[in-house]
Amino acid sequence: MTLAIPPTEPRPVVPGAVTDAHTVARLLTALQSEGLRVEVPLSARVGGAGPADAGMLYVEGVQTTVPTSAAYVASSPYALRGEDDGSWAVYRGTDRVASASLAPRPRYYDLTTEHGIPYWKIALLHLDSVASTVLQTCAYWGNDDQCAFCGIGVTLAAGRTIAKKTPATLAEVAVAARDLDGAVDATLTTGSTATPDRGAMYVGRCGEAVKQSAGLPVQVQFEPPSDLDVIDRVADMGIDSVGIHVETFDPDVLARVAPGKARWGIEAYFTAWERAVRMFGAGQVSTYVILGMGEDEKLTVEGCKRAIDMGVYPFVVPLRPVPGSLMEDLLPPPREAVEAVYRQVVPHLEKRGMTSAGVTAGCARCQACSGLGAFERSDGGLREGRTTLPLFVGA
C-alpha cells in the first residue's frame, strides 16, 4: 500500500496545556529510544550523515524522526496505526497515546536535473529542511579514523546519492523544495577533507549558492578548520548558522568512536566555536552531542553547559545506529538516560536565554532528531529558580 497524503501543517500542541506538551516531549524521547513499529510505508532514510533509519512524521503536531526499520524496533511497545477516519495515531499496546500525521513524499523528488540526476539524489527533504551532504566522501571513511556512528559511505555505495553536489544543482533543488514542498531552510553538511579547511569552504560555497537562489536560511556543517580564518570566510558568504560537531564531551569515548576527530582534541572544538560565535552570533553555532556511546553523564552535561555559556547550542540526540555503520548492532540509549541529560541541559539553555527557536537554520532549528526542543517548550524548567527539570518516572 502506498500512502498518498497531502502536505499537512504541523498542528500545535494544545496551547497552554503544559502537561500535554510535557507528555509529548517524553513520548518523543521514548519513540527515539525504542522506535516505532509501522505497518505502512513511511518516508524514511536508511543511511547517510544525517538522520538515518529515520521515519519522519508529526506526533501531536511536533515534527520528529524516529527509528522504524532497525531490528530492535520489532520489540518496541509503540506502533503507528491507521484510524477509522483515515488519520493516524501512535499506540502503546491498545492505548492510543498520540495523534500522528505522516510526512508526504516531497513533490520535488519527481524532478531531475538537465543531466538526468534525480533531485532526491542531490538533496533530501527532512520534514521542512532541504538537506544534503555536499561531499559524500570523507578523509576518515574506510580507514582507522572512521567515525563509528557515521553512514556517509553507505548511502553512496548503495547508489542513493552522488559523490559531489555542485552549488548550482543544490541551488536548483533548494528552489524546488521551497516552492513545491515548503522547505523553510537548508542544512548542508560535508565529509571532512584532507585540506586545512576540512571542507568548510566548499560547503560554504554551496550554502552561498542556495541562499542566493532560494533565499532560504542556511546552516553549513564542517570540522574545525586548522586555519580559523576559514570560519570568517564562511561567514562572509552570508551563511546563517554553522554546525561544528564534537559528537561527545567524553574524551575516552571520542577517541574510541571517532579517532579522526579525537586527533584534534575536544579543546579544538571550543577554540573553533569561540571564533564561530564571534562571526555568527550566540545561538547560531551548534554541535551534535550524541548520547548512548558509553559516555560519562557528568562530563556530558558539563561540556554542554560550557558550550552554552559561550553561545553554542548543544544539539543533544540519542544514538541512532546507522545500518551499515560500525555501530549498526548497537541500540539507542534508554529513554531515562536521555531524559536525564535533557533535564539538566534545558534549564541551562533557559538560564542563558538560548532556545532552539532562536537558531536560524539547520539541525538545532529543526530539532526533529531530538526531544530537547520539545522539552524546552514543555515546562519552563527555570521558573521559580529551578536548575533542573523535575524527573518523572513511568510512561
CA distance 129 to 110: 17
Does residue 150 touch ligand SF4 according to CB under 6 A? yes
Among 140-148, 179-187, 248-256, 278-286, the segment contacting ligand SF4 (CB under 6 A): 140-148
Q: Residue 129: count other Cβ atoms within 10 Å of its Cβ.
A: 25
CB of 152 to ligand SF4, least distance (A): 4
Does residue 288 touch ligand SF4 according to CB under 6 A? no
Which residues, numbered 240-259, are part of the site for ligand SF4 (CB under 6 A)?
Answer: 258
Which residues, numbered 30-89, are part of the site for ligand SF4 (CB under 6 A)?
Answer: 49
Does residue 138 touch ligand SF4 according to CB under 6 A? yes
Does residue 237 touch ligand SF4 according to CB under 6 A? no
- Nearest CB to ligand SF4, comparing residues 172 and 197: 197
Contacts with ligand SF4 by CB under 6 A: the residue count is 11
CB of 325 to ligand SF4, least distance (A): 9
Does residue 293 touch ligand SF4 according to CB under 6 A? no
Among 142-150, 271-279, 314-322, 353-361, the segment contacting ligand SF4 (CB under 6 A): 142-150
Does residue 152 touch ligand SF4 according to CB under 6 A? yes
Residue 277 phi/psi, 5-degree rounding, is -65, -35
Does residue 132 touch ligand SF4 according to CB under 6 A? no
CA distance 263 to 259: 6
Does residue 141 touch ligand SF4 according to CB under 6 A? yes
Does residue 147 touch ligand SF4 according to CB under 6 A? yes
Residues in the chain: 395
Among 63, 101, 129, 146, binds ligand SF4 (CB under 6 A): 146
Q: Are the CB atoms for 320 and 328 separated by under 8 Å? A: no
CB of 268 to ligand SF4, least distance (A): 13
CA distance 178 to 171: 11
Does residue 289 touch ligand SF4 according to CB under 6 A? no
Does residue 222 touch ligand SF4 according to CB under 6 A? no
Which residues, numbered 156-215, are part of the site for ligand SF4 (CB under 6 A)?
Answer: 191-192
Q: Are the CB atoms for 235 and 204 separated by under 8 Å? A: no
Q: Which residues bind ligand SF4 (CB under 6 A)?
A: 49, 138, 140-141, 146-147, 150, 152, 191-192, 258
